[in-house]
A and B are shown apart, each in its own frame.
Chain A
Amino acid sequence: MSNKKQAAQAYWKENLKLLLTLLVVWFAVSYGCGILFVDALDAIKIGGFPLGFWFAQQGSIYTFVILIFVYTARMNTLDRKYDVHEE
């Protein structure tokens, strides 16, 4: 296998790892905190918000925005590391 091909595979592997990590957070915050464990979390209150309710109507959306920007920054680093970035 050529070096170039190996590099491409390593790049893809790291990409998938990052993707899976971020998607786990995505799932945990929205489906976990906002739906599956929402009633348990509602027992905790932050100010006037029951925590589960806050995740369902506010927190998950903030997390989504942060996730995309983290992904963008990490991918740009990764692209440079493997020298596949665009000129």
Chain B
Amino acid sequence: MDTQTLIYIFVGLTFALYIGIAIWSRAGSTSEYYVAGGGVHPIANGMATGADWMSAASFISMAGIISFIGRDGAVYLMGWTGGYVLLAMCLAPYLRKFGKFTVPEFIGERYYSQAARVVAVVCVIFISFTYVAGQMRGVGIVFSRYLEVDINAGVLIGMAIVFFYAVLGGMKGITYTQVAQYCVMIFAYMIPAIYISMLITGNPIPQLGFGGTLSGSDTYLLDKLNGLSQELGFSQYTGGSKSTVDMFFITMALMVGTAGLPHVIVRFFTVPKVSDARKSAGYALLFIAILYTTAPAVASFARVNLLETVSEAEYQELPDWFESWENAGLLAWKDKNADGKIQYQAGKPFEGKPAFDSEARGASEERLVTNQATDNGNELYVDRDIMVLANPEIAQLPGWVVALMAAGGLAAALSTAAGLLLVISTSISHDLLKSNIMPNIDEKKELLAARLAAAAAICVAGYFGINPPGFVAQVVAFAFGLAASSFFPAILMGIFYKKMNKEGAIAGMVSGLVFTFAYIIYFKFVNPAANTADNWFFGISPEGIGTLGMLLNFVVAIAVSKVTAPPPEHIQHLVEDIRVPRGAGAPVADH
């Protein structure tokens, strides 16, 4: 069977599985729709959280990014895992004990204020839409690469699938589909990684092979990589180029942001007990760590492979995969010195993404690029995503592995999109409609509203997927920065600082949010030319500014709470109550 047929079969089978699960687990009540009835096993919840968390970016792009930035890639590796420690110890068990459906609901009740709840709802919707737009685009890209359909058609198919299980099954449907998606995704990631590790280092465990020697020599892989990188003018792979301050702040912003992201927090409302919430955070991180410790290994294997294969190679002698990815537009070569060999060095070969001259071919039969060449010696354009996508071909794996990759990439994008869409629909139906606009609607109508909101959110997300705002990639920093500077401090102080009051919390959230928002907007959109280390506050880039926003939030909140009235007695009792595990029932609606 050819690879294309296998891809159709694999993707078709996984889709049938997801739809089957959705029909089996459809939600009948708001509790099932919002938090899967609170009866999810901690291991299942761990897997679902893993799938929810790991997006198309983790699956496809992360290893590629690390491949190009070497040690600095640790900001993502540590930043996107370390937050689970904070979540497990500082937030999840207490929020589970609180026993409601949404994050804004906690903020609203703990700070006895509808205004606080509305501020929280606005943040949730903004953060989640920012994030989901990128996911729908990811779905479209995977479709167009593997199924040979147009990106827009891919987005529409993805929308239809998510529509099915998010609208029908709510959190319950999403949770069980995510468990299946986690399995598909991790399998698809590990198999090529194990093969390529054996191929390059002879060790079947990528995490160890990464620190081992290259097959058939006694040079360590990382030494070889450092040597090659230096020879070609790149910085050392195991040495960083970001400043220590910036590394520190970016890592902190990503960690704290992770712990404050509503679609992650809400997953811990679905387990039966407080102790399960702790345990399930552990499982979630374990399942995430399998992929996250493999990614840097894959990054280094792919890097060594690329450098050794292409550097100073005759174009016509290159392996077949070079040509197929060149045809896909992810590789491009501009023979600046017309020697027929590829010079791959530091610097951009030309400005922007490659624009190809239709079917015209150059002297060595390469696809001609029309971009204006830069005056450095680099001739090769490499899209970062190729580092993972091309692995099966580089390792010469059979067609079914390529098909598995396609199914895995789709699972990663769809599971994250579904989790985010659910959070959006919940915020609208529960926090805005039920709590503010129409407090008297009954459960049936609320459920219907939640489904309609989910359907509408899918359409909006799909629109962004088809017409992506040019800044999608840039605004991801927003989601983390805003979560770090708004939710995390507000929830943390809500649990650990009994005297924190309404005035302090609102002032803190607003100042953290406004500061972070303004800083990112200024450097990313208003004055991007000034976005260099010299102009940043204390050398902190916009990616890391959420950390400063968080500190500002703490300082303002505490200062304001000192000069205003303490929270009422019953709120202080509420805080004492959530600190003790006993008595956590199934989540219930308020009113």
- A→B interface (CB under 8 Å): 8, 11-12, 15, 19, 22-23, 26, 30-31, 34-36, 38-39, 42, 46-50, 53-54, 56-58, 60-62, 64-65, 67-69, 71-72, 75-76, 79, 84-87
- Tell me, yes or no, whether B296 is within 8 Å of chain A by CB: yes
CA distance A22 to B583 in the complex (A): 26
Contact indicator A72/B275 (Cβ below 8 Å): yes
- Interface pick from B79-87, B149-157, B393-401: B79-87
With A38-B240, A84-B581 in contact, is A57–B212 under 8 Å at CB? Answer: no
Instruction: Provide the bound-state CA to CA distance between A8 and B78, in Å.
Output: 35
A35:B247 contact, CB within 8 angstroms: yes
Interchain Cβ contacts under 8 Å between A and B, 14 examples: A8-B580, A19-B89, A30-B78, A31-B248, A31-B252, A36-B248, A48-B210, A48-B213, A53-B71, A56-B71, A56-B74, A58-B210, A61-B292, A64-B85
Q: How far is the CB of B78 from chain A (nearest CB, A)?
A: 5
Across the interface, A64 reaches (CB within 8 A) one of B81, B212, B251, B584, namely B81
Q: Which residues of A contact B84 (CB under 8 A)?
A: 64, 68
Q: Do the beta carbons of A84 and B85 come within 8 Å of each other?
A: no
A57 contacts across to B, CB distance below 8 A: 66, 71, 73-74, 77, 296
Would you call A79 and B238 a contact (CB within 8 A)?
A: no
B323 at the interface (CB under 8 A from A): no
Q: Which residues of B contact A85 (CB under 8 A)?
A: 275, 581-582
Chain B residues, CB < 8 A from A64: 81-82, 84-85, 285, 289
Give every chain A residue within 8 A of B248 (Cβ-Cβ): 31, 35-36
Are the C-beta atoms of A54 and B89 separated by less than 8 Å?
no
Contact string against A for B residues 567-591, beta-carbon threshold 8 Å, 1 for contact and 0 otherwise: 0000000001001111110000000
Whether, in the assembled complex, B263 has its beta carbon less than 8 Å from a beta carbon of chain A, the answer is: no
Q: Is the CB of A60 within 8 A of B238?
A: no
Q: List the 9 shortest-distance A-B pairs measured between CB atoms, nearest first.
A: A48-B220, A56-B74, A68-B282, A49-B211, A57-B296, A48-B211, A53-B238, A47-B211, A72-B278
Contact B220 A84 (CB under 8 A): no
Q: B213–A76 contact, CB under 8 A?
A: no
Nearest CB of chain B from residue A54's CB, rounded to whole Å: 7
Query: Chain B residue with minimal CB distance to A7?
Result: B580
Assembly CA distance A67 to B285 (angstroms): 11
Q: Are A86 and B273 in contact (CB under 8 A)?
A: yes
Given A34-B74, A56-B77, A69-B282, answer yes or no on A8-B213 (Cβ-Cβ < 8 Å).
no
Determine the chain B residues whose CB is within 8 A of the CB of A84 once the complex forms. 580-582
Q: Which residues of B contact A67 (CB under 8 A)?
A: 85
B77 x A48 contact (CB < 8 A): no
CA distance A47 to B221 in the complex (A): 10
The smallest C-beta distance from A50 to any residue of chain B, in angstroms, reads 5
Task: Considering the complex, give the chain B residue whose CB is closest to the CB of A11.
Answer: B580
Contact of B404 with A by CB under 8 A = no
B289 to chain A, nearest CB (A): 5
> In the complex, what residues of A have CB within 8 A of residue B238's CB?
42, 50, 53
Interface string of B274-302 (1 = CB under 8 A from A): 11001101100110010011001000000
Smallest Cβ-Cβ distance to A54: which chain B residue: B211
Give chain B residues whose Cβ lies under 8 Å from the Cβ of A47: 211-212, 220
Q: A residues within 8 A CB of B240?
A: 38
Say whether, besides A49-B222, A50-B238, A57-B296, A86 and B582 are in contact (CB < 8 Å).
yes
User: A49 vs B300: C-alpha distance in the bound complex, in angstroms?
Assistant: 12
Known: A53-B238, A85-B582. A68 touches B223 (CB 8 A): no
Inter-chain contact B85/A12, CB cutoff 8 Å: no
Q: How far is the CA of A78 from the CA of B82 in the complex (A)?
A: 24
Minimum Cβ distance to chain A for residue B160 (Å): 36
B212 pairs with A61, CB closer than 8 A: no
A11 to B207, CA, bound (A): 40
Is B285 touching A65 in the complex (CB atoms < 8 A)?
Answer: yes
Residues of the A chain whose Cβ atoms lie less than 8 Å from the Cβ of B213: 48
Confirm or deny: B422 has a beta carbon within 8 angstroms of a beta carbon on chain A: no
List, in ascending order, chain A residues with CB within 8 A of B220's CB. Answer: 47-48
In the bound complex, residues from chain A placing their C-beta under 8 Å from that of B89 are 19, 22-23, 68, 71
Bound together, the chains give a CA A50 to CA B274 distance in angstroms of: 40
CA distance A15 to B89 in the complex (A): 10
Question: Does B244 have its Cβ within 8 Å of any Cβ on chain A?
Answer: yes
Chain A residues, Cβ within 8 Å of B222: 48-50, 53
**Cβ A35 vs Cβ B576 within 8 A:** no
Which residues of B lie under 8 Å from residue A75 when comparing CB positions? 93, 275, 278
**Is B90 engaged at the interface, CB distance under 8 Å to the other chain?**
yes
Question: Can you name the residue of chain A whose Cβ is closest to the Cβ of B222?
Answer: A48
Q: How far is the CA of A39 from the CA of B247 in the complex (A)?
A: 13
Q: Of A36, A46, A47, which is in contact with the most chain B CB atoms at under 10 Å from its CB?
A: A47
Instruction: Determine the distance from Cα of A69 to Cα of B501 in the docked complex, in whole angstroms.
Output: 33
- B88 in contact (CB, < 8 A): yes
Residues B289 and A65 in contact, CB atoms below 8 Å apart: yes
B251 touches A30 (CB 8 A): yes
**Chain A hits for B221, CB < 8 A:** 48
CB distance from A57 to the nearest CB of B (A): 4
B163 to chain A, nearest CB (A): 35
Instruction: Point out the residues of chain B lying under 8 angstroms from A35, CB to CB.
Output: 74, 244, 247-248, 251
Q: A47-B220, A65-B285 given. 16 additional CB < 8 A pairs?
A: A31-B252, A34-B78, A34-B251, A35-B74, A39-B239, A46-B211, A48-B210, A48-B222, A49-B210, A50-B222, A60-B81, A68-B84, A71-B278, A75-B278, A79-B581, A85-B275
Task: State which residues 364-403 of B face A: CB under 8 Å.
Answer: none
A36's partner among B90, B244, B579 (CB-CB below 8 A) is: B244
Are B78 and A12 interface neighbours, CB within 8 A? Answer: no
